[in-house]
Amino acid sequence: MLQSEAARARQAGIFIVAISLLSNGGRDFDVEVNAVVNPPSSQTRIAVDLPDDLSLHAKHRAIDLVCNNVDDCRPTSPCAAGSTCVDRVASYYCACPPGVSGVTCSHICRRRADVVVALDVSGSIGQYTEYYDTFVRDLILQLHSDSRVGFVVFSNQASIQFQVS
């Protein structure tokens, strides 16, 4: 539930940083927090081990991240093929023209496709959830810009989590 609410907030343009006390919360905790914050989680997730660090380290790092954000699109854009670079806090994305795709719009994909990704969340995959996330993001970034992607999560019952048309 929290992850889907965070995804809606990020889509609405809300920047999410997580400050967590006790950085050794366990693998499930790490995966959950990383799924909530804006990517890259290595920068937008701030873990502290001592309550005293909350007032010093975490506060200064969060303020620096938001207030001193550099424009990743300047002085030269990392985007190729006449694409538009859009700066974000701690990241950027390239809006690719039709026919090219990829993180920097440097991959040529000439055919549009309809792709549905089915994700097993029954618990049998355990620690591999993180790899699914990376795989799906990389797959979508390589597709033609007019491709349609659906995402189905299944366990005991199938349900559509989101559909891009």
pLDDT tens digit sequence for 57-94: 777 888 888 788 888 898 899 999 889 998 888 888 88
CATH architecture of the domain formed by 84-164 = 3-Layer(aba) Sandwich (3.40)
Q: Which residues pair with 47 in a beta bridge?
A: 20
Closest CA to 37 of 57, 15, 55, 56: 15
Domain ranges of the chain: 2-67, 84-164
pLDDT confidence tier of residue 2, bands split at 50, 70 and 90: low
* Percent of residues, the chain, with pLDDT higher than 70: 78
CB 151 within 8 A of CB 161: yes
DSSP 8-state secondary structure symbol assigned to residue 83: P
162 pLDDT more than 60:
no
pLDDT, mean over the chain: 78
